[in-house]
Structure 1
């Protein structure tokens, strides 16, 4: 076959195929009773507050604890218009500067990026990876000081996946549906993972990469360790790790997070497609995660242990002779110490195994448990919460708090209340649910390796692709994007449209001030879509200044403004009212929302972090010109005409160098 014909077999969409065949109710089935209350007059969304559902505990759902900003304009900029230009648009008075695009040298021999993409696999291991995503800025004094340095720090970012046709000079070489170049595949492996980059503002106020020993590339081949209840489990034994304690690499890292003790967490999302199993009877820990007989990139078709690990077919006498369990090493949250380039990343199994979109922490309180949230980004999957058993001690706590706790899955009730369902063998309700379903788990490690199945059994609510989360810095309310779900066929109050093509944002207030309780109250913050089919945070239809679709990234600044990023694709990008993907800013207190940025052609807007003085904002532009090949460039951002498109970070500042807002 020709290269093009072969490429039709491999390198397909990375979106995970639906694999939730449980009978759990979908979100849309639970809220019909609330439809008239939520949508009547378009006024029960957003600014009018939560549904009036009383909860036991320390606070009531109807109470508001947002700061009294009065009439002050907290969005003092002119909204950017939608558009389809191949560049970045920001409001007047602001500047957007591309920074550290794919291929920027950061370590080792600092190999320059070659415009024909002919860099070697080793070069790529010393350069910024492909397709930037979740990101955090760590002030250089964060470890031993106040953490307020806004001119010098570590920028840490994920690399979600790759476009193989752009990564190599003429695309990947495939013969009869198989990969033939180990060098090409090693380069692809090295383009995944995480980059740690030390950066500093120079005397002109421009950010520069520093030649630092802290700079680091973590790839899909970097040695790692397992921790928590699944460490050493029989289902983690492989030829590489007969004891089930060691792993290799992290990949498909989407959103990210940072811990109260100053480490970075990267989140493994659409990892299942990188593996293949040709067994006819897949075990539940593979089947429920959508493994297939062929892989997305064909890494498993090459010889050698470094590639054979992507073939999960049973070949040996037991698991220690092959890689049947290798997929069980993925789907985790990985903790990285950004300040120690020699540290070994740790996969924290107590946080569950699924398609993690990110990890967001509630505001930590001394002497209270650590609480964090993560969404499973696939159609009809769930939202999760973790509550540590140990208590947070500022200056003393570390990642061990993420090894012993209770993982919960969310159930959203039709009356606006919600329940956190423990996925824990010590919990009586979960034990009863397992018995009723006729499902057994040998131990808690097996529960966590099969997190999706455990949530099915517990009765969690199927959601429309839970993506990023954010926690309000004052109220501790939790916001989550549900980006879309075109497979849904019935309308309801929370998603009042047949097929959720546009997505929405949900939020909830926990019953306890430290967010560790098991009940909450929820409402909708916004319904995305065109003017004829949407509701903004103020309860009114979206308009020219704030129309959006497929909300994805979420982030709160320290003043409680919510930044919303979009990930439209296909026809939504090609035509219609939305233009290119964008970033908006909303004020939950007033219900105001405006568009702040529009990105280049074919790109997703994602990843967001800021310096402590809020004078520099970093965002990421992922896969500009998505679908490009070396001979068909659908974007040439950021380098200009004739140049391959490259994912990059964008630095946003005000021209007068004051605070951004």
Structure 2
């Protein structure tokens, strides 16, 4: 399986690449998850002769608790599956309806500035919903299923859609990555301000109206948290020399959060926003002997050495204001307190936000580790026991982590500070279907000063390197995780891994390029998430009817084929909702994912293995983020980057790739979709 380590000559051309994905940064010799899968099949006496063999060896093992699952025979999935779609629209099952809520640019605070397609200012955007919606949660107000706070992430931006009506963009060929520089190589301040304001998190009140539609409600709770919002650094890294900057010489604060992908909801009812592909926002041109000289905490995460920076060149704003130049991590002063060499080290964390306290300062909880967080999922909380949560590092060949608190959970007393003291672990998957958690703590598993890890803060800032050192298992893009609230089973989506070319696939290695991904799951003895060992298997190998496999036997069919699982959420009735991210596919896409149509969402019954397609979305979007109201009768999901497949030439000609959600010729907008059942019943039935 060593061929899986080889990247395409240009990693941005690899199957499944999305704007902002980092290059491969893990060059350790740690075992690949594919190595583990091969070895497990071999241990069971099978040959790698086809997918059925792989399924026999890997799927449907002897997980603790599976017998209890199998006792449930009632179907949780009562809707009629929707077909694969190639249309620029939203499709839901018969008997269901949807509406659009909270699209990009909708005002939520301040003087409620109106959305102007492709023409808003930076000041206006700071009071409007951001771009590229992702993780989302509904916080009920006084337990209501018809009145609550929606909190959602904004992963990244497409500048051409934000500035579509401005000089330099309108009628000009721009791809989804490009921004405009002047003759001196500098950027317009207001454009940069608008882009910064389009990142982060939106918090707004929404309520069901008398006509059954949901609407944004002006409310003191409403606010935008952006890439420039003051943040507190919490946990063991607080005050470390590794996070001291010109802005915070004592290393206790920073500004902003970016690339917020999935999320988490704490047992004490706060929101955690993940910082995923943050490294590409920075530029570090420090050199030694005319060669790049990056510290390991930059190099292992893919910080750019390009003078213009990775994604948007924010440090090139004309004014040279401090809020912009901080994106330049080049060593320029005599000490860290005189420049922003450590600014990238203040990113890559989980950010805690209290939606019910609009005056609260978000806190970066550093004991959960620094990497490309997809999100965080909490194990079922037990009074008097430690808090346990999990997070995946969403990059190829990276790891899955677990945190166990030192203190125990006390209802009404526990708050976010419980996440500041405990033990961070990284997962090792064994060939025999068992696994173990390896502690990332001073003096344990070789994490000593002699081996380059000075203290706990050093370990956490360099979480990936610590995982390399202790021998964690390299995974295929660990994305969302979820836990079944009734059984305690953990599910994690492994989206794909395109490190092997399509030409290298054959009957013996049917998943060589792994275009389709899989979902791994695990349980613990006595359902005790604090334990250091676990049992794992694969719940499903995604793909079409010819190259997929189910835990209960057989393959996916026309009602259930899917590829690239990403978003996961297990609702209160144990339905597993699966969202797909096959990239920004449009109607003219040709490639291994063509047969799957547009991205969408499916529902699975873990007890029976039944899976049905519930929803499909418009052209170019990724379906991401899902939650329901407490009564289970209203669901909120997000569509991210509709129209992202449009070429630069199409953009110049006014063809924006998708009409969603307005279908009036203006630029497409990310949006939240509200789904209800026409008879007022529970979603999924």
Q: TM-score scaled to structure 1, two decimals? A: 0.92
User: CA shift at 1:68, angstroms?
Assistant: 3.7
Aligned match of 2:493 in 449, 472, 481? 481
Of residues 150, 153, 159 in structure 2, which corresponds to 1:164?
Answer: 159
Q: How far off is 1:376 after superposition?
A: 0.3
From 45, 51, 61, give the equivalent of 2:61.
51
SS of alignment partner, residue 314 of structure 1: coil
For 1:645, the equivalent position in structure 2 comes to: 668
In 2, distance between residues paired with 1:47 and 1:526? 13
For residues 596 and 551 of structure 1, the distance between their equivalents in structure 2, rounded to whole angstroms, comes to 14
Counterparts of 1:343 and 1:493 in 2: how far apart (Å)?
56
The equivalent of 2:176 in structure 1 is none
CA-CA distance at 1:85 after TM superposition: 0.8
Q: Is the Cα–Cα contact under 8 Å of residues 228 and 256 in structure 2 kept in the other structure?
A: yes
Between stretches 486-495 and 223-232, larger displacement belongs to 486-495
Do residues 149 (structure 1) and 166 (structure 2) align? no
Deviations 1:559-610 (A, max 9, x none): 1010000001267972421000010000010110000000000000000010
For 2:511, the equivalent position in structure 1 comes to: 497
The 3-state SS of whatever aligns with 1:186 is helix
SS of the residue 1:461 aligns to = coil
The 3 A distance-change label for structure 1 pair 195 and 487 is: same
Q: What is the alpha-carbon distance in structure 1 between the residues aligned to residue 183 and residue 558 of structure 2? A: 50
Q: 1:81 matched to which residue of 2?
A: 83
Alignment partners' CA distance in 2, 1:641 and 1:601: 15
Aligned residue for 1:465?
A: 477
Pairing partner for 1:65 from 62, 65, 68: 68
Q: Tell me, in whole angstroms, the C-alpha distance in 2 between the residues paired with 1:594 and 1:622.
A: 22
Q: Which residue of 2 is the match for residue 4 of structure 1? A: none
Question: What's the counterpart of residue 468 of structure 2?
Answer: 456
Q: Aligned residue for 1:385? A: 402
Counterpart selection for 1:375 from 382, 392, 404:
392
Distance 1:324 1:649, change over 3 A: same
Structure 1 residue 365: Cα displacement:
0.4
* Cα deviation, residue 204, structure 1: 2.0
Q: Deviations over 1:160-199 (max 9, x none)?
A: 0000001012434323583420000000000000000101
C-alpha RMSD over aligned residues:
2.4
Contact preservation (8 Å) 1:35, 1:494: no
Contact 1:179–1:299 (CA under 8 A) maintained in structure 2: no
1:107 aligns with 2:109: yes
**CA–CA separation in structure 1 for the residues paired with 2:184 and 2:90:** 38
Match of 2:120 in 1: 119
Aligned to 1:55: none
Inter-CA distance 440–261: structure 2 relative to 1 (3 Å threshold): same
SS at match of 1:532: coil
Cα distance between partner residues in 2 of 1:103 and 1:352: 33
Answering whether residue 420 of structure 2 is matched by residue 425 of structure 1, we say: no
Pairwise CA distance, 1:293: 1.5
Match 1:342 to one of 329, 336, 359: 359
Query: In the alignment, is residue 241 of structure 1 matched against residue 248 of structure 2?
Result: yes
- How has the CA–CA distance of structure 1 residues 49 and 483 changed in structure 2, closer, same or farther, with 3 Å as cutoff? closer
| Counterparts of 2:185 and 2:565, CA distance in 1 | 37
Consecutive unaligned residues of structure 1, counting only runs of 5 or more, are 1-7, 53-59, 142-147
Per-residue deviation, 1:22 = 0.6
Q: Where does residue 316 of structure 1 map in the other structure? A: 333
Q: How does 1:144-543 map to 2 (within 5 A)?
A: 148-168=143-163, 169-170=165-166, 171=169, 172-175=179-182, 178-279=185-286, 280-294=292-306, 295=309, 296-302=311-317, 303-427=320-444, 429-431=445-447, 434=448, 439-488=451-500, 496-543=510-557
CA contact (8 A) 2:585 2:619 kept: no
Distance 2:211 2:345 in 1: 49
Following superposition, the deviation at residue 499 of structure 1 comes to: 1.1
Per-residue deviation at 1:537?
Answer: 4.0
> How many residues get paired?
632
Structure 2, unmatched stretches of 5+, are 1-12, 170-178, 287-291
Give distance in 2, aligned partners of 1:541 and 1:212: 49
Given that residues 603 and 626 in structure 1 are in contact (C-alpha distance below 8 angstroms), is that contact kept between their aligned partners in structure 2?
yes
Distance in 2 separating the partners of 1:537 and 1:51: 8
Q: How has the CA–CA distance of structure 1 residues 393 and 598 changed in structure 2, closer, same or farther, with 3 Å as cutoff?
A: same
Kindly state the Cα deviation for residue 495 of structure 1 after the two structures are TM-superposed.
Answer: 8.4
415-424 vs 537-546, greater mean Cα deviation: 537-546
Q: 1:348 to 1:472 in 2, by over 3 A?
A: same
**Distance in 2, Cα, partners of 1:592 & 1:289:** 39
